[in-house]
Structure formats: structure tokens, C-alpha cells
Amino acid sequence: MVYQGFPATPLDGELWLARGKFEALSGAVRKNVPIDEEWRGISYLVFELPNASGIFQVRAQRIVEIVKQANIPHLKAVTQFRVKDEAALKARLKQVVALGGEGLMLHRADAQYVTGRSDALLKLKLQNDAEATVVAHTPGRGKYTGKLGALVVETPEGIRFKLGTGLSDAQRENPPKIGSVVTYTYRDKTASGKPRFASFLRVRHE
């Protein structure tokens, strides 16, 4: 969609549908021919002004002003907030995750705008872990040719997926046996129940 009066100021942000709706959002934006109905609930959430001067606290307020002046329903400013201490930060993180969020982005209020990775902007996420049973091995490719590529594991609920991240070279040489139970970490789950960003942690020894 094209809106008259869209801000001329460069904006940095992300498309947003709703928590737990990433797959629906991804499906909508990947279509070569957009479907209007799928885009009606999608918004553009602005969290930065590329190359703008001033500290982040000032830029954040400027974002609010730009969005308000534009008065476009699907253009929104990401809500910024402060926490007084570590305990408050952890409590807010748990609250966001409980509501279906992945985590928090921590930004120094006094930071100038920089591109790329920076200590002024950090991701904070909870890490979940669970167990699954090894049901198969898949062969490696490239530098892992002749070694394990990934474990095929099955959760107690019967969901199967490949677990290839987090394995050491030694474990690829001598992988966990089929039938063994392994622990893995993950961030969240897809609508079908598969863990996202799963990583091998250890083998459970009885």
C-alpha cells in the first residue's frame, strides 16, 4: 500500500502483525502478488532514525513526533521505556515472554546513532530447554563430510526435527546413539510446535 503524506525522513523499523503471527506475516510479505486482506493488519513499527544526530532519547522522541504528524494508521512508533534496576528488567522480560514476545531490545538512552553491532544496543532473551530422543543421524556436508550433519530427534509429543547446531567436532565424530535422550535449547516454537533456533546442549546420562 502507498500512503500520501508518508514521512520523507528515513525510518528504520520492522513489519508487525501480532505476537505469535510471524508465519502469517512471512507468508503475506513473500507473495509476488500481495493480498490486500492479509496486509490490512500489518503495521510498520519504527524504532530508529538512520544517521540522525542526537542521542537515542532525543531520536526516540523525534520518532513519536514524526509518526504523530504523519497520522497514518499503519505507521507506529515502538514504545520505549526505562527500568530502574536489574530486578525490574528481569520482571519486564518475563512479562513480555509470557505474552508471547521473544525478548527485549536494550538501548542506551545517551547513545549516538551507529550502524552495525554495538554495545549500545543489545538483545535480551530467555533461553528455554527441553529433551528429545535421537531417532536418526543425517550425514554432514562440506567440512563435515564423513561426520554427523545433524541429529534427527523426536519430542515426547511426537514432533520430529533436525538438531545440527551446538555439536562439537568430537560429537560429530562420535554422535549420540540412536535412542539416547538429549537436551537442547530453543527460543520459541512454531505454530506446529517445532522449536525455533534449537541448539544441542548435552546428552542425558541415566
Task: Report pLDDT digits (tens) over 13-51.
Answer: 999 999 878 888 989 999 999 999 999 999 999 999 998
Model pLDDT, residue 135 = 97
Three-state DSSP class for 56? helix
Alpha-carbon torsion (130, 133, 138, 140), positive or negative: positive
φ/ψ bin of 158: left (φ > 0), alpha (ψ from -120 to 50), beta (otherwise): left
Question: How distant is the alpha carbon of residue 145 from its chain centre?
Answer: 30
d(CA 62, CA 11): 11
How sure is the predictor about 3, in pLDDT bands with cuts at 50, 70 and 90? low
Q: What is the pLDDT of residue 108?
A: 93
Which domains occur in the chain, in start order?
Answer: 12-125 (3.30.470.30), 128-203 (2.40.50.140)
The per-residue pLDDT for range 77-119, each reduced to its tens digit, is: 999 999 999 999 999 998 988 887 878 999 999 999 998 778 8
Residue 188 pLDDT > 90: no
